[in-house]
C-alpha cells in the first residue's frame, strides 16, 4: 500500500478537506507575455485554472482584466494572490470571493441533437432556463445560455440525456457589486 505523498501549500488541491473555489480579478498591462507569466505562476505551483477570461477593460491605459477561477486551500489562494501582486505589469489583484459581493456570469453555446419528443422536451426545458435558440436544423439546435456557472451546469445536466452533442463556454466574467471598483 502506498503512503500518501505530503503536499506543499502549492500542490494540487485534490483530496484536501478545506479546498475552496475562488474567483480572482487581476488588472494588468495589456502587453505580450503578461498572460503567460500569470498562467506560469499557477502551473509552476501545480494549481489548475478552472476558468480563465481576458479582455481589455481600459483602452486608453492599455489595461486588461484577467478573471481566474481556481480551487485551493485559503492559505494557498492567499499566497497565489501575493505572488501575482509581485509580477511587475500587474496593477491590482482582487479575490472576489473574499469580497463577497460580486456577480459571476458565463456564456455557453450548447448543441443538442434530437427528433420527435426529445426535440420538444429540449425546447421546453430550454425555455424554462431562458436559453435562446441561435441555430436550428431539422436534427439539432444550438442554444445560447448566459448566467451563473451553476445555472449552465444544471442546464447541461438535463440536456445530456436529451442528446447533448457539443459545448462551448466562455469562462467566468466577474465584477464586484456596488459603487466601488474591485
- Residue 73: CB partners within 8 Å, gap ≥ 6? 9, 13, 16, 18, 19, 20
CA angle 27, 33, 39 (to 5 degrees): 70
Please tell me the predicted confidence (pLDDT) of residue 178: 82
45: number of Cβ within 10 Å? 17
At residue 15, the pLDDT reads 52
Domains with residue ranges and CATH for the chain: 20-101 (3.30.70.260), 103-174 (3.30.70.1150)
Say if CB 107 and CB 130 are below 8 A apart: no
What is the pLDDT at residue 182? Answer: 66
**How many angstroms separate the most distant Cα atoms in the chain?**
60
Could you list the mean pLDDT of each consecutive 10-residue stretch along the chain, which spans 182 residues?
38 62 95 94 90 95 96 91 91 91 94 94 96 96 96 97 96 88 72
- pLDDT recorded at residue 3: 38
Q: Which three cell numbers stand for residue 100?
A: 463577497
The pLDDT of residue 86: 92
Residue 121 to residue 68: CA distance in whole angstroms:
35
Dist CA 100 CA 40 (whole Å): 27
pLDDT at residue 88 in the model: 84
Amino acid at each position: 500500500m502506498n503512503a500518501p505523498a505530503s503536499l506543499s501549500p502549492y500542490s494540487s488541491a485534490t483530496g484536501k478537506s478545506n479546498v475552496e473555489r475562488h474567483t480572482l480579478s487581476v488588472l494588468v498591462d495589456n502587453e505580450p507575455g503578461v498572460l503567460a507569466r500569470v498562467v506560469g505562476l499557477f502551473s509552476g505551483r501545480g494549481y489548475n485554472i478552472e476558468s480563465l477570461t481576458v479582455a481589455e477593460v481600459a483602452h486608453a491605459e492599455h489595461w486588461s482584466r484577467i478573471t481566474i477561477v481556481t480551487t485551493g486551500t485559503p492559505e494557498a489562494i492567499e499566497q497565489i494572490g501575493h505572488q501575482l501582486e509581485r509580477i511587475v505589469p500587474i496593477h491590482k489583484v482582487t479575490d472576489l470571493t473574499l469580497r463577497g459581493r460580486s456577480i459571476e456570469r458565463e456564456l455557453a453555446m450548447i448543441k443538442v441533437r434530437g427528433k420527435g419528443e426529445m426535440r420538444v422536451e429540449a425546447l421546453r426545458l430550454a425555455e424554462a432556463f431562458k436559453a435562446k435558440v441561435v441555430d436550428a436544423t431539422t436534427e439539432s439546435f444550438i442554444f445560447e445560455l448566459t448566467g451563473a456557472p451553476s445555472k449552465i451546469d444544471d442546464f447541461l445536466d438535463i440536456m445530456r440525456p436529451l442528446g447533448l452533442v457539443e459545448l462551448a463556454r466562455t469562462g467566468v466574467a466577474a465584477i464586484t457589486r456596488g459603487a466601488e471598483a474591485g
